Amino acid sequence: MAKILDVTDATFEADVLKSDVPVLVDFWAEWCAPCRRLAPKVKELAEEFGAKLRVVKLDVDANPRVASQMQVRAMPTLLVIKNGAVVGQLVGDQPKDKIKAMITPAVG
């Protein structure tokens, strides 16, 4: 079973920007219904990609600095970050195949 890591303002740089594998970041909030609908798809993708992809969640209410730094304006936002740079972005509750299509080029 794939592990989804919770990251914070304090751990974002080490866990995401300096990761040696591509990272899918799920920017979410407790009050966000689309975020809750998206969560099972993110979990399935974490399991599908396994060790080729790190999957993390960042609560924007608890960690506003990173959300602002990454210019996240709406929930949920998914970013694919590879070698410290954003290589993919989707906003809103998206179909799983669309998310997978965004991730696949980054993991090779």
The CATH number of whichever domain residue 42 belongs to comes to 3.40.30.10
The secondary structure of 28-80 as a DSSP string is E-TT-HHHHHHHHHHHHHHHHHGGG-EEEEEETTT-HHHHHHTT--SSSEEEE
pLDDT of 24: 98
Would you please indicate which residues are annotated as catalytic (active-site) residues? Answer: 32, 35
pLDDT of 108: 85
pLDDT of 2: 67
Domain total of the chain: 1
Q: Give every residue of the chain whose pLDDT is below 70, as ranges.
A: 1-2
Collect all residues with Cβ–Cβ distance below 8 Å to 23 and sequence separation of at least 6.
Answer: 15, 16, 53, 54, 55, 56, 80, 81, 82
**Range of 79's domain?**
4-107
Q: What is residue 98's three-state secondary structure?
A: helix
pLDDT of 20: 96
